[in-house]
Structure 1
Amino acid sequence: MDTPVDPRTARSRDAILAAAHTLLVREGPASVTHQRVAHEAGVGRATVYRHWQRADHLLLAAMSGSDLPFFRSPTSPVRPWLHQELRKLADELTLPAVAAVTLTLMQTALWDPDAATRRNHSSAAVTTRITTALDLAQETGELTTVLPSEDAAALLIGPMLYRTAMEAGTVSDMLISHLLDSVGTWRD
C-alpha cells in the first residue's frame, strides 16, 4: 500500500521545482543551485537538499516539466501542416527559456545517463511524430520518396537548431520550405 504524501512535502517540492524552472528560464542553468532555488522558493536550503541531493538532478527535474507540443496529430495535406509545426518550433527555439532547456539537456546528456535517457526519449518522440506525418503524406500520395525517418527528423530540425542556437538567428519560411524539399519529393 502506498504511503500518503504529506501535503507540506508536496507543496515544498512544487515550489522548489517552480523556482528552479524560473531561475533556469531567467538566468540559465548555472543559476539552479540549492541556495538560489531555496531563496527563490522561500524554503530552507535543507529542504531543497532533502528532495534533491545533487544540483544537476534538480536541474533535470526542472527541465522535465517541459513538454514537446510539436508534431502531434498531423492533418492532410501534410506539407502545409508540417511547415506550420516547423514554424512554431523555430519560433519557440528563439525564446531564451526554450533554448536554455534544450541546450542544457543536450550538454548534460553527454555525461549524465539520466539526462541522456531524457534526451533520447524526447528525440524519439519527435522522430516518431515526424515519421507519422511523413507516412500520412506518402499514404495520400502527397509525398512520393522520403528519407529514412531518423534522417528526415535530423534534416528538418538540425538546421533550425543551428540557426537559432549557434547563430542566435531566426528561421525564415524559405529555409523551412527548403528543409521540407530536402526530405522527399512532394506533389502539388
Structure 2
Amino acid sequence: MNSLFPKDKLIFDIPNAEVEYYGQFFDEIQANKLFETLKNEIPWQQDMITVFGKTHPQPRLTSLFGNDGKQYSYSNIIMQPNPWIAVLTFIKEEVEKICHEKFTTVLLNYYRDGKDSNGWHADNEKELGINPILASVSLGAERMFHLKHNLINDQMLKINLEHGSLLVMKGETQHFWKHQIPKTAKSIGSRINLTFRILK
C-alpha cells in the first residue's frame, strides 16, 4: 500500500487492478447530512434474488438512479432508474472531480445492520463495457470491504470503508478480482453505499 499525494489518497499495490481510496472524501458534518437525506429521500426497494436455485429477499435495500431511463441488470435482477435528484447530483459531481469521468448511473445499497451484506461478485456486466470505472461512496457505519483475485489465491485485500469515504476501482479490476461486503456479528448501525458507474 502506497500513500501518494494528496495525502488522504491511498493506492493499493495489487496485480491486475487499479484501486484508490480517499478516507475523508466528505467531512463528518457533510457526511452526516448526506446520510440522513439519502435515508429519508431515496425510494428503497428489496428485490428477490435467486442463488443456487433458491429464491430469497436480497440482504439489503437498493435503488437505481440514472440518465435516459437506461435499466441496469445484475444477478437476474432488472432495475429501472429513477431520475436524478439534487442530493445525488451533488455527490456525483464531487466524485467526477476526482475521477475525471461523467457517470451515467448510480446504484445505491442500504445496509440496515450487520446482517445485511453483499456476496462475492464482480461488476462486469456487459452494460459497463471493458475495464469499467466504479466509484463507491460510503456513508454511515464502517464496514469491511474484501477483495480477492480470481487466479492468484494469496492475493487478497481488506479495506475498512469509513464514513464519508470514496473507493475507486478501474482498469482490469472487475475482470480479475471479486469483492464483497460480508455479514458481521458486531452490533453496528446502518450504512448507505453509492456506486457510480457508466452504462455504455
**TM-score of the superposition, structure 1-length normalised?**
0.27
More helix by share: 1
Which gives a bigger RCO, structure 1 or 2 (Cα 8 Å, sep 6+)? 2
**TM-score of the superposition, structure 2-length normalised?**
0.26
